Chain A
């Protein structure tokens, strides 16, 4: 539209006609048509991609992660994914997170911190509702939802899974290890019991796999210690050495 014309149209005293027969409540066209067909996203870990039948996170169908602490440890598993998804400029929803994520770390790993949207539901009903809303709306590149140790009916989870199949949002649900007893509707079920060690319990079109090691954090192990060591304290390090005070 040319600028002068647009200027005139946007004046409040310009009258614009409308077709009175128009149905303003008509449903909109599906919003995900431009990315239809993109179904998989590399995890960022070759060892893990090799064991997943789709060679990455399934974008339609959901990922369930079981752990003792219901998804507090080992968030490193999803950092490469979050960094890759930052390009999409959509929300990365954190629903009922156990703590606040720390922005300086996210930034260091290439995650767009302004995309992290934290949602704090009051109870179980709100948690399920908010998770479904986030999955169904096309505004999230990823939805992390900490479902916690509560029991969920299969129908409730199935509803989330169905929503997850409808568009290209990666859905990750964190649950307690006890949920292992229950049947899951999700495409991929993982468990993380030891640091950076993933077991695939169930996957659509593939087999279970155990003991998939993710590489250790390079930041921690191979970085020299540039700092001055405090005086008057001695502590044991992982190599068994004693840090000796420097005068």
Chain B
């Protein structure tokens, strides 16, 4: 048996727009008020009033007067669809004002309807949406009940009919917003007051009086099952945003919102088997300006705790300006989830993955601050090794050389020669050598004789004589 939960967002025109909290706000469309918030309601504003009435009632300098933005409403519903996809795969947008969720098949997963419904409500409240809901075996009835009955019961076929029977006709007229208006008006004229009375009428009489379309709709509303085979297909990108409704003064005030958005991302990732390697934060400012900053991870993952830590470290490098109104999280690209999470060196202890440390350090110190030694084919020591920023396990192909320094200087340090004696931190004594290394004959030829020498303090060092310039240099310090 199918079970549809309809989530209707009556305040969507208001809630999809950035608003300042605790100030009256109204949304108008074609000079008529279509939505008001609680503060506006207190001042006597109501949907249906004209803008002239609004101006007469309230000092408009104290009022947030917003034009309806249908595209924002659609975007908000799209984000809510992605959110709802983590609850059930079968869902659809309904009349651009709400979502139909098929929950019959996943009740067991969530431990029952009450638990599921409480979770949904608290989630939506956090996201700043007012919701009205209806629950029924078919979508039409769920939609209708969302206008009528707030306290829903576990429906069975019988009590669906009972609850439909109680619905007054004037509510039907209001909810239908124009559709079947003539049919409903003509029924009202005959003294019929509830939906139950209509449903009890003989089908033929009803068809004659109200038309086939209305009769078909009544059939939909009373249907005991309503199966949709097509599941929702989530988009390939992730975008979600939250508005603060108050002024952000410091970075810590952003943290709860960040966590909330990352939580949403984690749910999205889990339901789609996708993982990001980099995420983009957008600071939404007044007048539509946005500031971006990116956070990267060397391995794709969806752990909100780790993403939060990396984001927090990146944020510390970022100077927060004034007038930030909202925060958005954008992921343009995902990788498909790895079947087995592999560690960098192929072994996983009961420990944190190795790349976590690299990511954390880079988030604060910058990309260039972390590197590894990498090798290339060259004869001169300073060219045979370079510092690589691609942190990865390197092939352990290297044949070691024992008579080499522990530390290699970036630039060889010149040695002072006086009376055929070498001076570097005192007099140097040669211990071993020479070893000739030559290279670079095609550009700037080099030929060097390397020796191991000892400083006056007894420390062995690696020195060479440039055979062309006859200059002596220190190039490294032995262990």
Using a CB–CB cutoff of 8 Å, the interface residues on chain A facing chain B are 6-7, 9-21, 24-25, 28, 31-35, 72-76, 79, 89-91, 93, 97-109, 112-122, 126, 129-130, 133-134, 137-140, 194-196, 217, 219-221, 223, 225, 227-230, 233-238, 243
Chain A residue with the shortest CB-CB distance to B360: A133
Other-chain contact of B352, A112, A137, A219 (Cβ < 8 Å): A137
CA distance A233 to B448 in the complex (A): 13
CB distance from A20 to the nearest CB of B (A): 4
In the bound complex, do residue A89 and residue B345 qualify as a contact, i.e. CB atoms below 8 Å apart?
A: yes
Q: B105-125 toward A: CB 8 Å interface, digit per residue (1/0)?
A: 010011000011001100100
Check B270 against A18 for contact (C-beta < 8 Å): yes
- Chain A proximity of B378: nearest CB distance (Å): 12
> Can you name the residue of chain A whose Cβ is closest to the Cβ of B449?
A230
Determine which of A116, A194, A223 lies in contact with B373 in the assembled complex, contact meaning CB atoms within 8 Å: A116
Q: Do the beta carbons of A114 and B267 come within 8 Å of each other?
A: no
C-alpha gap A126/B360 in the complex (Å): 12
Interface residues of chain B, those whose CB is within 8 Å of chain A, are 85-89, 106, 109-110, 115-116, 119-120, 123, 231, 233, 259, 263, 266-267, 270-274, 304-305, 308, 336-337, 339, 345-347, 349-354, 356-358, 360-361, 364-365, 368-373, 375, 381, 384-385, 387, 391, 393-394, 396, 398-410, 420-422, 429-436, 449, 451-452, 454, 457-460, 465, 467, 476-479
13 residue pairs A–B, Cβ–Cβ below 8 Å = A10-B273, A16-B270, A17-B106, A32-B350, A106-B373, A107-B398, A114-B396, A115-B345, A117-B370, A118-B373, A139-B353, A139-B356, A220-B403
9 additional A-B pairs beyond A103-B385, A114-B372, beta carbons within 8 Å, are A16-B271, A19-B109, A72-B407, A90-B354, A102-B406, A104-B404, A105-B406, A108-B401, A118-B387
Q: How far is the CB of B365 from chain A (nearest CB, A)?
A: 6
CA of A242 to CA of B457, assembled, Å: 22
**Interchain CB contact under 8 A, B429 and A113:** no
Interface class of chain B by DSSP:
mixed
In contact, A122 and B476 (Cβ under 8 angstroms):
no
Contact of A15 with B89 in the complex, beta carbons under 8 Å: yes
Chain A's nearest CB lies how many Å from the CB of B394? 4
Tell me whether B350 and A31 are in contact (CB under 8 A). Answer: yes
Q: Is the CB–CB distance between A103 and B458 below 8 Å?
A: no
* B361 and A133 form a contact (CB under 8 A): yes
B360 A137 Cβ-Cβ under 8 A: yes
The docked-state distance in angstroms from the alpha carbon of A237 to that of B428 is: 9
A220 touches B305 (CB 8 A): no
Beyond A220-B460, A220-B478, whether A104 also contacts B401 by CB under 8 A is yes
Kindly list chain A residues whose C-beta atoms are within 8 Å of the C-beta of B465.
230, 233
Residue among B87, B274, B352 making CB contact with A138, cutoff 8 Å: B352
Q: Is the CB of B467 within 8 A of A230?
A: yes
A15 to B347, CA, bound (A): 30
* A228 / chain B contacts, CB cutoff of 8 Å: 434, 436
Residue in contact with A105 in the complex, picked from B394, B405, B458, CB distance below 8 Å: B405
CB < 8 Å: which of A91, A97, A105 contacts B404? A105
The residue that A225 contacts in the complex, of B345, B433, B460, with Cβ under 8 A, is B433
Interchain CB contact under 8 A, B429 and A238: yes
Chain A positions within 8 Å of B430 at CB level: 235-238, 243
In the complex with contacts A24-B304, A102-B381, A230-B449, A74-B479 CB distance below 8 A: yes
CB pair A18 B357 closer than 8 Å? no
Q: A10-B337, A90-B354, A238-B430 are in contact. Are A25 and B304 (CB under 8 A)?
A: yes
Are A104 and B116 neighbours in the complex by a CB distance under 8 Å?
no
A234 contact set on B, CB distance < 8 A: 420
| Chain B residues, Cβ within 8 Å of A236 | 421, 429-430
Residue contact A9 to B273, C-beta cutoff 8 Å: yes
Separation of A194 and B459 alpha carbons in the complex (Å) = 8
Bound-state CA distance A217–B305 (Å) is 48
In Å, the complex CA distance between A25 and B400 comes to 46
Contact indicator B109/A102 (Cβ below 8 Å): no
| Chain B residue nearest to A126 in the complex (CB) | B365
Let me know if A130 and B361 touch, CB within 8 A: yes
Chain B residues with CB below 8 A from A25, complex form: 259, 263, 304-305, 308
Q: Is the CB of A113 within 8 A of B394?
A: yes
In the complex, A98 Cα to B452 Cα: how many Å? Answer: 20
Q: Could you say which of A118, A129, A227 contacts B433, with CB atoms under 8 Å apart?
A: A227
Are B433 and A238 in contact, with the CB atoms below 8 A? no
On chain B, the residues within 8 Å of A238 by CB distance are 429-431, 454
Q: Out of B86, B360, B393, B407, name the residue touching A102 (CB < 8 Å).
A: B407
Q: List chain B residues, Cβ under 8 A from A18.
A: 86, 267, 270-271
Q: Contacts A73-B459, A116-B373, A223-B403 hold; do A102 and B476 have CB atoms under 8 A apart?
A: yes
Residue from the set B266, B365, B434, B479 with the largest chain A CB neighbour count within 10 Å? B479
Report how far A11 CA is from B89 CA in the complex, Å.
14
Residue of B nearest to A127 (CB): B365
**Distance A121 CA – B365 CA, assembled complex (angstroms):** 6
Give the residues in chain A near B459, CB-CB below 8 Å: 73-74, 195
CB of A100 within 8 A of CB of B410, answer yes
A48 to chain B, nearest CB (A): 15
Complex CA gap A102/B408 in Å reads 6
Q: Say how far B370's CB is from chain A's closest CB, in angstroms.
A: 6
Task: Using CB atoms, name the residue of chain A closest to B109.
Answer: A17
- Inter-subunit contact A79/B479 (CB<8 Å): yes
Given contacts A107-B398, A195-B458, A220-B403, contact A76 B373 (CB under 8 A): no
Give complex CA distance A106, B274 in Å: 40
User: What is the CA–CA distance of A150 and B434 in the complex, to the nearest angstrom?
Assistant: 39
